[in-house]
Chains A and B, each alone.
Chain A
Amino acid sequence: MLKYIVPFILFIILAVLLAVGLTLKPGDIPSPFINKPAPAFFAPKLDAPDVKLATVDLKGKVWLLNVWASWCASCRAEHPVLNQLAQQKLAVIVGLNYKDDPDDAKNWLARLGNPYTVSIMDREGRIGIDWGVYGVPETFVVDKKGIIRHKHTGPVTSEDVQKTLLPLIAQLLVENS
């Protein structure tokens, strides 16, 4: 009897491990920034390059940093979801226009709608490196104290908005700054 039970148990263990392996997303690298202060930036705005936006300007607000580019196909897929989120006016959405041509970026927003409270330019990808960006689009949620509370890699779906982003934003809005 043992002769059959041992291989059977081993098979079950292997099957469970493989099943867990199937659900893992190796593309999702845990961000070391969760619950750490957001890296500071001081970057030109997309629509007014002479004016710069700094992280301190956003202190006391719950804000999202969404990394996007006009050359990024998944950003296009994500765009309607962001437009919808922006309509609810719950949080400031800062767009980090990553390694993009400003004209292409402005055209893109004019054509597809602009969900961003403000977009800043990162033409050389340096702010991206500071924030540990490795795949566009990425979305960070920052609380009133300037602490990163959540990171989403890849396009945000409406399910992600309903299940993760909105509850988190609601929670952060009632926290003290």
Chain B
Amino acid sequence: MKYFAAVYLLFASLAVLAGVEYREFANPRQQEIYETLIKELRCLVCQNQTIADSNADLAADLRRQVHEMVQQGKSKEDIIRFLTDRYGDFVLYNPPFKPLTLLLWLGPLLFLSIGLISVFVIIRRKKTQAVAVLSAEQHEKIRSLLEEGDQS
């Protein structure tokens, strides 16, 4: 009996630790909007976590805000606009494509092309060097050395 009580208490305490938030939705569509949104919004306190992942107070408040707006029937775009109006684009994990974020989006492509071009240039340079370097005299020397090697 004592054993069972101990096991029960162990699991009961785990449930408390998990701190699951219970949210109600009018329909599965709303739940879907809520769940995608909280994974796309950044917690501004702990900047590398989404508000779904974060335990920060502000993240909990923002989840509450998103939940309320979803329940009011607001669309995903409405809610995103509400939050970017207040916190700026930084609140979005997926930054929008606009002039200010051009380097962010195209940077990787830019660096890849710089890399590819450098590799191409280096290979070409090596090729031409390899051909030009040996004179007829040196070819002769190589052949004689190779023959010498064969004899021994």
Contact = CB atoms under 8 A, between A and B. Distances in A.
A129 B65 contact: yes
Contacts of B44: 29, 134-135
Nearest to A30: B88
Contact of A99 (B57, B65, B84, B90): B57
A32 B82 CA distance: 12
Interface residues of A, number: 19
B61 interface: yes
Contacts of A132: 86-88
Contacts, number: 38
B86 A135 contact: no
Nearest to A27: B47
A25 to B, nearest CB: 12
Given A29-B90, A30-B88, A32-B88, A134 B61 contact: no
Interface string A116-155: 0000000011101111101100000000000000000000
Contact of A130 (B86, B88, B90): B86
B86 A131 contact: yes
A99 B87 CA distance: 19
B45 interface: yes
A39 B87 CA distance: 13
A21 interface: no
A7 interface: no
Contact of B85 (A26, A30, A32): A32
Which 3 A-B pairs have CB atoms at the shortest separation, nearest pair first?
A134-B44, A132-B86, A32-B88
Given A30-B88, A33-B86, A135-B45, 4 more contacts: A32-B86, A125-B58, A131-B86, A135-B44
Interface of B: 44-45, 47, 57-58, 61-62, 65, 84-88, 90
